[in-house]
Amino acid sequence: MMKRVSIALLAVFLDSCSLTSHQAPSQQAEAGDNWTNPGGDAGKTRFSTLTRIDASNVDRLGLAWQAELGTARGMEATPVVIDGVMYTSGTAGRAYAFDAATGKELWRFEPEVDMQFNRTACCDMVNRGVAVAPDGKGGGKVFVATLDGWLYALDARTGAVVWKADFIEDRRKGDNSTGAPEVAGDVVVIGMAGAEYDVRGYVTALDLETGKLRWRWHVVPRDPKLGPQETPELEAALKTWDPNSRWDIGGGGAPWDAINYDPATGLVLVGTGNGGPYATSKRSPRGGDNLYLGSIVAIDPKTGLMKWHYQETPGDNWDFTSTAPMILTRMKIDGEERPVILHAPKNGFLYVIDRRDGKLLRANPIARVNWAKGVDLKTGRPRLDPEAADYTSGPKIVFPGTPGARNWFPASYDPRSGLYYASVLDMGNLIFMTPGAKPHKQRGLNNDAALIFTPDVENAVGTLPPPLAAAVKALPAYAEALRNPGKAQMRAIDPLTGKTVWAQDTEGWQDRGGVMTTASGLLFHGTLSGKLVVRDARTGKVLKEIPTGTSIMAAPMTYQVGGVQYVAVMAGWGGGGFPFTPRFSAAYTRGNADRLLVFKLDGGAVPMPPELPPLEAAPEPPRQAPGVTPALIAKGQGLFFGNCAICHANRHRSITPDLRRMQPGTHEAFRQIVLDGLLLPNGMPRWNDILSVEDADAIHAYLIDLQARTRTDELAKQKAGKPLDGPSLTILSNY
C-alpha cells in the first residue's frame, strides 16, 4: 500500500538518501509500519505517517494486549518495533521482546545489576530505551544499558547475550546509566548520568560487532595538574574554567540522554548535563563559561573528535541540563532550507540550530525566564540577569525551576504543520546556598545548594528559618510566584517564534507526559492519573481518554502489522522526584505495577488495578536507645537529609518505603540494612563507606522520633475525622 508522504517528509528522505554513506542501518527517514528507535525515525521527531486511526474512529480505540513487567519503578522508555517485533526496556536495564500483534513474549532479559549504583541515581532506576541494529554488518542485535554501566548486545531473535562491555570509566565515582544507546555507523554510543555526585561527564563509543572501546569523549576538562587533556577541544575548554576549580568533584556535565546520530551529516549530536556543584562560584570560583556544560556538541563517530559545539547555558548555575531530547528536521529559515536541531532544554528557551555547523538561528522563551533577559542571536549568548538569579549571596526564586521548562519527556514535531508539541512546565523554584565548606563526598551528593520546588511557594517559605524566609519574601520573584504559581501544560508551539498556538492545562505540575503525533492529525500522551489521552493536534481538544489505572509518563508510539495500526505506551510512575508520589496519580490510589499497554481500534477495556486500602496511622516505634539526646536526633536529621531524603521522601504511598512506618523487624535490622546492604537486591544500597555505626544510629534515632511524632499526629487526625495525607514539598540538599 502506498504511504502518503508530505513534501517536508520527502525532503528529509531525500536529504538522508543523498548521504547514504552516513546512513545507520537501524534508522529510516520516516516512521510508518516500523518505529525503528525510541524517537520513531532518523530525526526522532516522534511523528508517524500512519493514518488508520484518525479523529473519525479514535473513539473505538481500546486495549489490544498488555504485558506485566514485574517491577514498580519509573517507566520512561518508548518501545521500538521492527518487522512485527517489539523491543523495549524497563527498570535498571531489563529488556523485552514481544510479538507486536499478539503480545506473545518472545524473550525477557533480566541482567544482574549491582544495585549499589542506585545510590547515585538521583532520579530513579529508569531506562529510556533500546537501540536495534537489523541483520547485516553488526546487526541482528538489541543494545541496552544497565543502571550499573554495562552495555549489552543481545541477539534480537533470542535475547541471548552476544557481548557485554563495561563503559564506566571509574567505578569509584558516582557514574551510572539511565539513557538509551544510539547506533552511529559501526559504533554504538552511550552516555552516563550522575552530575549531582562526583562525576566528570563523558560519552563512550563501542564497536558494534565486538563491544570494544573505540573512543571516549569527555565533557569537562580534568585537573591540569594531571597533565595534558585527552583531546584538543578539552585544552580549549580548560581556558573557560578556573585552574583552581573543584576538580575533585569532577565538574558534572553528564550526558545522560539526548544522543542523536544524524545520518545527513554523519555526526553524533550530544546534549550535555549540568555543572557540579551547582553554583559556579563553588565549582569554578573565578567563573567562566565552563565548556562543555549545558551544550550540544557534534562528534565524528569515526574519530571521537568534536566538530562543533553550541553552549546553551554558559557557566551553568541552576542545574540547567541540555539533555532533553533533540529533534532533527528541515525548515525554511531566512529564505534558506536548512537541516536543523529543535531543542528545548531545562533553561526555558527553544533553540533552532543548524546541525551542519552549530549556528544559532532562533532562541525564544517558552516559559517564564528570569536568569536571562534573552539570547543574542549574533553571539549566541544569553543576556544574563545576575540580580534576579544569582543565589550565591542570598536566596533566589529562579524561573524556570530546576525541574526544567522541558526535561526528559519527549516532544514531537509535525513537519506538515511545522509545530512543536510538548509538555511545558512554567514554574520557578527557590534556591539558596547551604552553610559551611563542603568536602568532596565520594559517590555522594555534592550539589552544595538547597532546592525547593513546588507551586505552593508561600507554604514552602513558611518552612524556612525566619531570616531566610524574610529574605525570600523581599524578592520581586516571590510576588510573581504568588500571583502565578505555575503549572504544566500540553502545548503546540511555533519553533521559529516560540509562540504558543494552543495550550491545555494538565492535571498537576508533575504531570508532564511524553508526546507522539500522527499524520492523521492526532496527538497522544499519558497522564499521571492513569489515562491515555488523544487530542486533535490542531486545537488540543480531547478526542478520547482511556482510563488505565497506571500512571503514564513515557511517550506513546505507533506501528502497523498486517494492516492494523497499534498504539503502545509504557506505564509506571517514577523518574525525577520519584519518592513524592502525587496524590492525584494512579500510583497513589492504585499502586505502581509497571505495564506495557498496547491499543487498537475495537480493542477492549483496560483491566484496572484494585484501589489501595485506606491509610492507617503509623505503627508505634520502639523506644529510643539509652543515651539518645536531642542533639543526636538533630545530627541524624542532618545525615538523613544529606544522604537519604533524595530517595526516601517519607510521604504517604511513596514508591520507596515510608520510613515513618517501619515495622519491628526493620527497626531490629536497621544497621544491617543501612551499612551492610541487607536489602541490596531490593535496590537499597549499603552506606558503610560513608556512614559509621554512630551515624547509622543517629539516623535511626531521628527516624524513631519522627515515627513517634507522626503516629501522634495521625492518631489525632483519625480521631478528628481528618485525612492522614497532606501536601508535600520536594527538597534536595547537601547539608
544 grid coordinates: 478520547
What stretches of 100-160 adopt beta strand conformation (E)? Answer: 105-109, 131-133, 141-145, 150-155
Cβ distance 149 to 192 under 8 Å? yes
Helix/strand/coil (H, E, C) string of 290-341?
A: CCCCCEEEEECCCCCCEEEEEECCCCCCCCCCCCCCCEEEEEEECCEEEEEE
Residue position matching grid coordinates 557514574: 175
131 grid coordinates: 537501540
> What's 659's DSSP letter?
G
Cβ distance 253 to 292 under 8 Å? yes
Residue position matching grid coordinates 562543533: 308
Please give the angle made by the CA atoms of 693, 699 and 701, to the nearest 5 degrees.
100
Query: What is the bridge-based pairing of β-strands 47-48 and 515-518?
Result: parallel
Quote the distance between the C-alpha of residue 447 and its chain's center: 18
What stretches of 344-415 adopt beta strand conformation (E)? Answer: 349-354, 360-365, 372-375, 382-384, 396-398, 412-414
Helix/strand/coil (H, E, C) string of 158-189?
A: CCCEEEEEECCCCCCCCCECCCCCEEECCEEE
> What's 193's DSSP letter?
B
How far, in Å, CA of 322 to CA of 259, rounded?
11
319, 354, 695, 697: the active-site residue:
319
Any residues with CB less than 8 A from the CB of 462 and at least 6 apart, and which? 469
Q: Is 319 a known active-site residue?
A: yes
Q: Taking Cα atoms as reference points, which of 86, 78, 206, 201 lies closest to residue 150?
A: 206
Crossing angle, helix 693-720 and helix 630-643, to 10 degrees?
100
How far, in Å, CA of 142 to CA of 538, rounded?
36
Q: Taking Cα atoms as reference points, which of 251, 577, 560, 579 lies closest to residue 404?
A: 577
How far, in Å, CA of 411 to CA of 517, rounded?
9
Cβ distance 330 to 337 under 8 Å? yes
143 grid coordinates: 543494545
Cβ distance 176 to 194 under 8 Å? yes
Cβ distance 322 to 312 under 8 Å? yes
The DSSP bridge partners found for residue 546 are 532
Three-state DSSP class for 512?
coil
501 grid coordinates: 498556538
Query: What is the bridge-based pairing of β-strands 251-252 and 275-276?
Result: antiparallel
From edge to edge, which strands make up the β-sheet containing 327-333? 327-333, 336-343, 349-354, 360-365
Residues assigned a catalytic role: 319
